[in-house]
Chains A and B, each alone.
Chain A
Amino acid sequence: MVNLEINFAGIKAPNPFWLASGPPTNSGYQIMKAFDQGWGGAVWKTLGVPVINVSSRYGAVNHRGSRVVGFNNIELITDRRLCDNLREMEEVKKYFPDHAVIASLMVQSKKEWQQIVQDVQNAGADGIELNFGCPHGMCERGMGSAVGQEPAVLETITRWVMEVAKIPVIVKLTPNISDITEPAQAARRAGANAIALINTIQSLVGVDIDKFVTYPVVENHSTNGGYCGPAVKPIALNMVKNCAQHPLVQLPISGIGGIENWRDAVEFILLGATSLQVCTAVMHYGFGIIRDLTSGLEQYMESHGFSSIQQFAGKALPNVKHWEELNLNYSIKASIDETKCIGCQLCYIACEDGAHQAIDLNEDKNIRIPRINEENCVGCNLCALICPVENCITMVRKDVDKEPVTWVQRTEANHVPTTFNDELAGGLGHSVPEPMEALKYKNTL
Chain B
Amino acid sequence: MAEPNNLQPMPDIEQIFAQLKPLMNNSQAYYESSRCLFCYNAPCMLACPTNIDIPLFIRQINNGNLSGAAKTIYSANYLGNTCGKVCPTEILCEGACVFTKMNIRAIDIGRLQNFATNNAILAHLKFFDIPEFNGKSVAVIGAGPAGISCACQLRLEGYQVDIYEARNNPSGLALHGVAPYKITNQEALMEVEFLRAQFGFNVFYNKRIADKDEFKGLENKYDAIFLGIGLGNSGKIKIKGEEKQNCIGATEFIEQIKNNPVLQPSAKKIVVLGGGNTAMDAASESARLGARQVILAYRRSQSEMKAYYFEFDLAKISGVIGMFNVAPIEVLGENCVTGVKFIRTETVNGKFGNIPGSEFTVDCDLVIKATGQLKQTSMIVNIPGLDMDESGRIIVDHATGRTTNPRYFAGGDAVNGGAEVVNAVAEGKIAGKGIHGLLSKLS
Contacts and interface: CB of A to CB of B under 8 A. Distances in A.
Contacts of A388: 37, 98
A346 B37 contact: yes
A368 interface: yes
B31 A65 contact: yes
A65 B43 contact: no
B35 A342 contact: no
Contacts of B98: 342-344, 388
B39 A65 contact: no
**Which secondary structure dominates where chain A touches chain B?**
loop
B37 A389 contact: no
Contacts of A343: 39, 43, 98, 101
Contacts of B41: 345, 361, 365, 368
A82 interface: no
B34 interface: yes
Contacts of A65: 30-31, 34-35
Interface in A319-367: 342-346, 348-349, 361, 365
Contact of A368 (B31, B37, B43): B43
Contact of A349 (B35, B40, B99): B40
Interface residues of A, number: 15
Given A346-B40, A368-B43, A64 B34 contact: yes
Q: Which size bracket describes the interface of B in this complex?
A: 10 to 19
B249 to A, nearest CB: 39
Interface string B70-108: 000000000000000000000000000011011000000
Contact of A348 (B34, B40, B43, B101): B40
Nearest to B59: A64
Interface in A349-406: 349, 361, 365, 368, 388-389
B62 A344 contact: no
Contacts of B308: none
A342 B100 CA distance: 9
Given A64-B62, A389-B102, A345 B31 contact: no
B102 A342 contact: yes
A349 B39 CA distance: 9
B309 interface: no
B133 interface: no
B360 interface: no
B38 interface: yes
A344 B31 CA distance: 20
Among B31, B38, B41, B62, which residue has the most Cβ atoms of chain A within 10 A?
B41
B40 A344 contact: yes
Nearest to A361: B41
A309 to B, nearest CB: 37
A35 B245 CA distance: 79
Contact of B39 (A344, A365, A389): A344
A266 B98 CA distance: 34
Contacts of A389: 102
A197 B41 CA distance: 45
Contacts of A365: 41
B106 to A, nearest CB: 12
Interface string B31-74: 10011011111010000000000000000001000000000000
B202 to A, nearest CB: 35
Nearest to B46: A365
B34 A345 contact: no
Nearest to A64: B34
Contacts of A345: 39-41
Nearest to A66: B34
Contacts of A346: 37-40
Nearest to A388: B37
Contacts of A344: 37, 39-40, 98
Nearest to B99: A342
Nearest to A350: B40
A66 B40 CA distance: 23
A64 B40 CA distance: 18
A213 B37 CA distance: 32
A348 to B, nearest CB: 6
A114 to B, nearest CB: 53
Contacts of B38: 346
Q: Give the interface centre of B34, B43, B98, B99 by most chain A CB atoms within 10 Å.
A: B98
A346 B98 CA distance: 11
A342 B37 CA distance: 11
Nearest to B39: A344
Q: Which of B30, B35, B37, B62 has the most CB of A within 10 A?
A: B37
Interface in A282-327: none
A361 B38 CA distance: 17
A348 B43 CA distance: 14
Contacts of B31: 65
Interface string A61-89: 00011100000000000000000000000
A349 B37 CA distance: 13
A342 B103 CA distance: 10
Interface in A146-169: none
Contacts of B34: 64-66
A389 B102 CA distance: 8
Contacts of A64: 34, 62
B380 to A, nearest CB: 36
Contacts of B99: 342
A444 to B, nearest CB: 16
A350 to B, nearest CB: 9
Top 8 A-B pairs, shortest CB-CB distance? A65-B34, A345-B40, A342-B101, A349-B40, A342-B98, A344-B39, A64-B34, A344-B98
Interface of B: 30-31, 34-35, 37-41, 43, 62, 98-99, 101-102
Given A342-B101, A348-B40, A388-B37, 10 more contacts: A64-B34, A65-B31, A65-B35, A342-B102, A343-B43, A343-B101, A344-B98, A345-B39, A345-B41, A368-B41
27 contacts: A64-B62, A65-B30, A65-B34, A65-B35, A66-B34, A342-B99, A342-B101, A342-B102, A343-B39, A343-B43, A343-B98, A344-B37, A344-B39, A344-B40, A344-B98, A345-B39, A345-B40, A346-B37, A346-B38, A348-B40, A349-B40, A361-B41, A368-B41, A368-B43, A388-B37, A388-B98, A389-B102
